[in-house]
Structure 1
Amino acid sequence: MERLSHEGRGVARDEQGKTCFIEGALSGEWVIATTQKTRKRYNEASVTEVVSASQDRVAPVCEHFGRCGGCRLQHLDHHAEVLFKQSRVQEQLHHIGHLSHLPEPDAALCEAPEGYRRKVRLGVKWRRDGRLILGFRAAQSAQLVDIEQCPIMESRLNVLLPSLRRLLETLESRHIGHLELIAGDHSVALSMRWLRDRKRLPARDQQRWIAWGEDHNVAVWLQDDQGFIPLSSSEDQSLQYDVTISSHTVDAAHQDESQVVSLSFGPEDFLQVNAGINQRMIRQALDWLSLSADDTVLDLFCGFGNFTLPLAHVAGRVIGVEGIVVQVERARANAANLTTLKGEVTFMAADLNQPVNWGKLGLEDGVDCVLLDPPRAGAEVQVQQVTQLNPRQILYISCDAATLARDAGLLAAQGYSLVRWGIMDMFPRTAHVETMALFQR
């Protein structure tokens, strides 16, 4: 194997020089592989035997590895996995962003590679013979792999699977698309995707869901085409997590104090799935930006305030902008519940896939800093426009190295330099990588 591809497959060439992507192979190995698909420019194959193994090969911790499509890098040592992700981001910043001189990356933010995922989606299907399949999609397939346990899920979610399976087998109606299990710091919720009108959920099934939720202290939600509604009778259906801001970040004069920012969210909200990395990512963002009470910060793609509200503990003014209205409402409610904010904080809804008239939103005087945390498609429109606000620094949080590199190139063309960057291992055992990049001019 010459190297690993961006998605974590081994890359080799056959006798005619044609590229072959081999699932399950690692860089430097000799393997025997079976061709699965033949294409014009390349072939796709999977390992049938490892002839000479890499020193970085380890035994997968999950019995479903190789069939489940969730964790493609369980056979790669975690330290080697992090180095692979780091080199991949570096390569794309060079080749796509055309950034010739990169600073050395900061140390990667890493946590334990198992037991980290606090939100998961489980597919639900009944076979023709009546057997229930509850699990994740197979690799490169729409088929489901039946699972009993998942080593990357939080333990509070794993323990629910046996009783959840028993519940599903008792239901009268099988019009269920998927289930989502979500863990807050102090509570757990389940969202059931119902494929019919909510009025057609059998009453006895509804009672079974409610009873299961009460037995396991889980808030149960139904999701249909109209949205989300709670099935549980509990008055408090909210989920919540805390972010602790270290004392030196908040106020250098109060070394013995730390601030706790509590954020509530709903089952429909986007959530950073790795709680430990999210906590450290926020602290690193505050550390890199080194803000003061004189600074105005614009937080784009702000969600329900994951970065905005911690920022408002150190900056004088923070404006959070999000395209999903329900998350803007949640962010405002989160801000209203905080009594420790040092600065003014405002949330507004805007389509960030389109140009925004910042002057009409009261930012005609510009801002000191912009934080971007876009989805995988990146922030191409805003990167080309937001420099009109003349920020002295832009902090970009990326979940896709290719779109980060594209947008980094656009920022470079406008006079911004990449002065600091590093990866955050938000999704261990997978090829997905989160990156933080600081640009200044």
Structure 2
Amino acid sequence: MNEILSVDRLGQRGDGIARGPSGSVFIPYALPGETVRAVVDGERGQLVEIIAPAESRIAAICPLFTRCGGCAAQHMAPGLYREWKRRQVVTALEHAGVAAPVGDLVDAHGAGRRRVTFHARRQGEAMVAGFMAARSHELIAVEACPVLAPGLDRAPAVAQMLASRMGGAGKPLDIQITASEAGLDVDLRGHGPLGDRLRLALTQLAERLDLARLSNHGEIVVERRPPLQRMGKALVAPAAGGFLQATALGEETLAELVTAALPKGRRAADLFAGCGPFSFRIAERMQVTAIESDKAAMLALAKGFGATPGLKPIATETRDLFRRPLLEHELNGFDVVVLDPPRAGAEAQVRRLAASKVRDVIYVSCDAGSFARDAAILVAGGYALEAVTPVDQFRYSAHVELVGVFRRGRKG
């Protein structure tokens, strides 16, 4: 049904929310204060025409905006954009019943995203590499992306060449490309095990494309140069296909917030530590026990530590903190616990923290909802949420990171 609607506010995903005949209607790319014409189907609306634009509407920086699904907010003026992202954190805490001061959004886009995943699908006789369309399974070929760091300028062409070479099986592929100090680090997903002929062909193609490293499902095909990333004083080669913060400035910003909140003390635990972006920086001041379920990440961290002088000791442990969270007696020896869990949060571990004697907890999160749930558990266990800082390293997307600082007096 074609309706003329007035947009009242923004939703969590960046949709404009209007009041329709049957309730709220979510209209992608509409902004508060606008009068729009939309085709309405239940609570979803498709924007047809902007009858009266808002003053907060600006021109998008990419010609593929609204077609490509990677960006949701290129049309928002900076003030509206910052408040929309900050409001996501405020709202999540309010819903969880947690009172806390939430700071202004910190811009951590920097030079752009240093990691990107291209999808490759067969279209006719050829494999095409690109991004998925907004709210669709349609693939859009891309030649360039304005949110990527300069080190990824070649990434679209590299993804296309790899997709073409692997297209014989006709399988959908994901091609993750990371900019490193040694060049491009590529991990392929979706093909399954490689035969000898394809492995040799990919090795030759990696040489021709001058890749630092090429891996398949995290298994190294060829490493021509270690794909090093700087983490504080350390140079680290992350595990093939392993986790890395989206932007270099994002990692630096989160780490600065973590280290600024460290209390005086000797021992810190870094939980869900990855390959050590926080561990290395904390170890400039305190001994660190880094715990992570990914063995390859722990090996990368240990290797980076072994090559970096001037740090306090870093011990590593491979452990699934979802199934085997640290127990109270294990936690009580630490002066501070830092944790950076996946999007699902760390409920099992947080419940143990709430029952422990640990005085300071610094929680890095990529999901405001799971953070708010876990924050409520910590607050109920006697912590005060002293500060929350939203961090924006996924510019133009609906994602927001944050750092929360919890403190309390010691028990017992």
Q: Which residues of 2 match residues 55-74 of structure 1 at below 5 A?
A: 55-74=55-74
Which letter maps to 2:249? G
SS in 2 for 1:431: coil
CA distance in structure 2 between the aligned counterparts of 1:112 and 1:171, rounded to whole angstroms: 33
Change (3 A) 1:352 1:46: same
Residue 314 (structure 1) aligned to one of 265, 285, 293 = 285
How far residue 19 of structure 1 moved from its aligned partner, in angstroms, is 1.2
**Is this contact kept in 1: 2:187–2:240, CA < 8 A?**
yes
Q: Aligned residue for 1:278?
A: 251
Residue 298 (structure 1) aligned to one of 247, 250, 269 = 269
Residue 346 (structure 1) aligned to one of 276, 300, 315 = 315
How far residue 196 of structure 1 moved from its aligned partner, in angstroms, is 4.2
Change (3 A) 1:21 1:371: same
Q: Aligned residue for 1:219?
A: 212
Residue 195 (structure 1) aligned to one of 191, 196, 215 = 191
Change (3 A) 1:286 1:215: same
How far residue 160 of structure 1 moved from its aligned partner, in angstroms, is 3.9
CA distance in structure 2 between the aligned counterparts of 1:202 and 1:185, rounded to whole angstroms: 27
How far residue 171 of structure 1 moved from its aligned partner, in angstroms, is 6.2
Residue 185, structure 1, aligned to residue 181, structure 2: yes
The CA RMSD over aligned residues, in Å, is 2.2
Change (3 A) 1:359 1:372: closer
Change (3 A) 1:352 1:264: same
- Runs of 5+ in structure 2 lacking a partner? 1-6
Residue 28 (structure 1) aligned to one of 29, 33, 41 = 33
Which letter maps to 2:258? A
**Is this contact kept in 2: 1:93–1:405, CA < 8 A?**
yes
Aligned structure 1 segments of 4 or more residues deviating by more than 6 angstroms: none
Change (3 A) 1:93 1:180: same
Which letter maps to 2:67? R
How far residue 186 of structure 1 moved from its aligned partner, in angstroms, is 3.5
Which stretch of the first structure deviates more once superposed, 392-401 or 131-140? 131-140
Which letter maps to 1:353? F
Q: Aligned residue for 1:288?
A: 261
Residue 173, structure 1, aligned to residue 168, structure 2: yes
Size of the alignment, in residue pairs?
Answer: 401
SS in 2 for 1:191: strand
Change (3 A) 1:52 1:382: same
Residue 241 (structure 2) aligned to one of 252, 268, 271 = 268
Q: Aligned residue for 2:230?
A: 242
Q: Aligned residue for 2:4?
A: none
How far residue 277 of structure 1 moved from its aligned partner, in angstroms, is 1.7
Which letter maps to 1:430? S
Change (3 A) 1:121 1:194: same
Q: Aligned residue for 2:14?
A: 8
Change (3 A) 1:305 1:166: closer
**Is this contact kept in 2: 1:109–1:277, CA < 8 A?**
no
* TM-score relative to the length of structure 2: 0.90
Q: Which residues of 2 match residues 25-424 of structure 1 at below 5 A?
A: 25-35=30-40, 37-38=41-42, 43-96=43-96, 98-100=97-99, 102-103=100-101, 105-112=102-109, 116-128=112-124, 130-162=125-157, 164-165=159-160, 168-169=163-164, 173-176=168-171, 177-193=173-189, 195-199=191-195, 201-202=197-198, 206-207=200-201, 209-224=202-217, 227-231=218-222, 234=224, 236=225, 238-244=226-232, 260-289=233-262, 291-292=263-264, 294-315=265-286, 317-341=287-311, 343-356=312-325, 358=327, 363=330, 365-424=332-391
How far residue 106 of structure 1 moved from its aligned partner, in angstroms, is 3.2
Q: Aligned residue for 2:3?
A: none
How far residue 86 of structure 1 moved from its aligned partner, in angstroms, is 0.7
CA distance in structure 2 between the aligned counterparts of 1:242 and 1:15, rounded to whole angstroms: 55
Which stretch of the first structure deviates more once superposed, 142-151 or 167-176? 167-176
Change (3 A) 1:435 1:147: same
- Runs of 5+ in structure 1 lacking a partner? 245-259
How far residue 346 of structure 1 moved from its aligned partner, in angstroms, is 0.9
Which letter maps to 2:62? C
Deviations 1:297-349 (A, max 9, x none): 1111011111112111111x2111111222122221121111110x2221111
How far residue 137 of structure 1 moved from its aligned partner, in angstroms, is 1.2
CA distance in structure 2 between the aligned counterparts of 1:268 and 1:172, rounded to whole angstroms: 20
Deviations 1:113-155 (A, max 9, x none): 7x51111111111213x24421111112222111111111122
How far residue 211 of structure 1 moved from its aligned partner, in angstroms, is 4.0
SS in 1 for 2:212: strand
Change (3 A) 1:304 1:167: closer
Change (3 A) 1:202 1:159: closer
SS in 1 for 2:351: helix
Q: Percent identity of the aligned residues?
A: 26
